[in-house]
Amino acid sequence: MTVLKVIVASSRPISWVNTAFPFAAAYLFAGGGLTWQLVVGTVFFLITFNMIVYGVNDVYDYESDIHNPRKGGVEGAVLAPRYHRPVLVAAAAANAPFIVALLLGGTAASAGWLALAVASAVAYSVPGLRFKERPVLDSATSSAHFTTPALVGWTMTGTPATPGFWLAILAFFLWGMASHALGAVQDVQADRAGGLSSIATELGARTTTRAAAVAYAVSALVLLGLPPSAWVLSLAAAGYALNAGRFWNVTDATCEVTRRAWGVFLWLNYVVGFVVTMLLLFA
């Protein structure tokens, strides 16, 4: 039971909705209906996919995580070495059947996006690739973890993507990059102590925070290109820009103060998720 709890904790349950919701929303909005593909895909992106995104990451980030005061709770586990192998084995074993099912039940396009989703999740953390230590690419790869599920969901239905869908994906991708960058700011000192590179250790806390705020703002502006009702979503998205902008003048020495922004970010996700759900229901 202890090993099982560790495995679940390392998948970061508080963030499960961030990957499952995009898949389910895109699938349904594209006309997919209540099918086994919806159920399997939602469970996959809700739980097992996050075992790769976060669990594998926690294995290979152990040296930096032990220096990070925010790890060891809902924002990520500090995995003792004895749990590394069980987490890796569980991630592989749990994901394999879901991936096979989604490949068989999807289209050529959804197979390609699914392959990219899994590849980006693996490449982000594993030694030899470690995209998370390649500044800017780290934020882009992290954003792919959230946008690719939506691309898988839409393309599984075989429905041609609309211009509005691509605008939404662009806005979501910018949101994802900004969110990763903002999250990296609070870890500048811990990452440097652990010998890790990131967009924030490379650009510095202040530049990275400002870039995140601007990216959030651009994301909100892009959403204005969607149907009129999307102005509500654009307004909600602007809240992320304001949240990051509060720390416009943060420094490397005071980087940990942005933990307050990250705490607000976690709650904003649920508020904005509710807004998106309402828009989809009454679209």
DSSP characters over 28-60 = HHTT--S-HHHHHHHHIIIIIHHIIIIIIHHHH
**Which of 160, 181, 205 represents a domain boundary (last residue)?**
160
Task: Output b/e per residue, 253-268; b: 16+ Cβ within 10 A.
Answer: eebbebbebbebbeeb
Question: Could you tell me the CATH number of the domain that includes residue 77?
Answer: 1.10.357.140
**Which of 160, 180, 214 represents a domain boundary (last residue)?**
160
- Confidence check: pLDDT of 165 > 70: yes
Contact 51, 95 (CB under 8 A): yes
CB neighbourhood size of 236 (10 A) = 19
If asked whether residues 67 and 34 sit together in one domain, one would say: yes
The tens digit of pLDDT for each residue in 15-24 reads 888 899 999 9
State residue 190's pLDDT score.
81
If asked whether residues 195 and 109 sit together in one domain, one would say: no
- Confidence check: pLDDT of 158 > 60: yes
> What is the pTM for the complete model shown?
0.89
**Which of 160, 179, 196 represents a domain boundary (last residue)?**
160
If asked whether residues 6 and 143 sit together in one domain, one would say: yes
Question: Could you tell me the CATH number of the domain that includes residue 224?
Answer: 1.20.120.1780
If asked whether residues 86 and 106 sit together in one domain, one would say: yes
- Number of domains within the chain: 2
**Summary mean pLDDT of the chain:** 88
The tens digit of pLDDT for each residue in 26-37 reads 999 899 899 999
Highest mean pLDDT of the ranges 105-114, 195-204, 258-267: 105-114
Domain extent, residue 136, equals 1-160
State residue 45's pLDDT score.
97
If asked whether residues 28 and 136 sit together in one domain, one would say: yes
